[in-house]
Amino acid sequence: MRVSPTLLLGVGLNLGCTMAMAITYDEVVVEGEDCDELQDMDGTTEYFGQGPDIIYEEDGVSIYSLYGIDLEEDEGWEEMMGSYSVTYEGVWYFGLEF
């Protein structure tokens, strides 16, 4: 899979996010069964933002909630339950399962 990330700076996101990123899937190659919906991701863009709420903290590293938005549905930013966002040594890490 090849992606084109775009850091969205200065976006308020209406929830106090410190940063957000748009990720566009340029080339999606999926091997295996039961993955048909992933084949349709070519050209799709997903938006993620670090939320204002700390959900866990250890050794001075704060782990925040992760938000996402579907611009086609236009329902606003929503917390992605079970996900996380952390900035550590200048790198932004996030995932959909914590």
Give the model confidence (pLDDT) of 48-76 as tens digits.
888 888 999 999 899 999 998 877 776 77
Kindly indicate the confidence band of residue 40, based on its pLDDT and cuts at 50, 70 and 90: confident
37 or 47, higher pLDDT: 47
Return d(Cα 4, Cα 44) in angstroms, integer: 10
State the total domains in the chain: 1
CA nearest neighbour of 92 among 23, 19, 25: 19
- Residue 6 forms beta bridges with which residues? 22
Residue span of the structural domain in which 73 resides: 2-95
Please compute the mean of the pLDDT values over residues 79-91 and round it to a whole number.
88
Distance of CA 45 to the CA centre of its chain: 11
Does the pLDDT at position 86 exceed 80? yes
Q: What is the pLDDT, as a whole number, of residue 11?
A: 46
Euclidean distance between CA atoms 59 and 5, whole angstroms: 29
For the entire predicted model, the pTM comes to 0.71
Of 45, 97, 42, 96, residue with least CA distance to 69? 45
